[in-house]
Structure 1
Amino acid sequence: MANLSQLRWQCRRGTLELDLMLMRYLEASYEGASPDEQTWFVELLTLEDNVLMPLLMGEQQAEIESLRFIVKKIRSVSPS
């Protein structure tokens, strides 16, 4: 499991929307997630904001199934 303090820092992005969505998932779901899901979240955090924003806003779909899964989970803990 990645260090939570480090993950909190990585969740701080260029826009408030990204910050809120990523932090909500981290605080509500990350620790109880499977090791695979945790890995996918960490992988998602490596994406640039200009790639991440359309994924989390539902404007685009990730090509990789694991990233589609984690995006869906993040969107499910974020209010619409």
Structure 2
Amino acid sequence: MTETREAMIKRMRMRSMRRGIKEMDLILSAFSNGHLAEMSDDGLALYDALLAENDHDIYGWIGGQFVVPDRYAILIDKIAQGANGVTRPA
């Protein structure tokens, strides 16, 4: 059975808010609530793949401490734009 777009977005919103690191909960919840509905199917698939990555790695990518893998560069940049004050002082 194929997951509907609506079910996929709902699942990814839940995964975005239950990360294990509070900062990631805040960052990814805000991003998912503001952007998932407008994303293309390919964009949703990429975000789903990002959610499978380690929280510490994602947090380091967003905060600029680690080099972002090429496949996530544009997505991480978009997420980081809304993360001011969470990954670094505003």
Gaps of 5+ in 2: 86-90
- Specify the alignment match of 2:39 in structure 1: 33
Q: Deviations over 1:24-50 (max 9, x none)?
A: 111111111222222211110000122
Q: Give the RMSD, CA atoms, in angstroms.
A: 1.7
The answer as to 2:24 corresponding to 1:13 is no
Task: State TM-score, norm by structure 1.
Answer: 0.81
8 Å contact from structure 1 (residues 55, 71) kept in 2: yes
Q: Flag the structure with larger Rg.
A: 2
Structure 1 residues not aligned, in runs of 5+: none
Q: Report the Cα offset of residue 56 of structure 1.
A: 1.8
TM superposition score normalised by structure 2: 0.74
Ranges of 4+ aligned residues in structure 1 off by more than 4 Å: none
- In structure 2, distance between residues paired with 1:3 and 1:38: 8
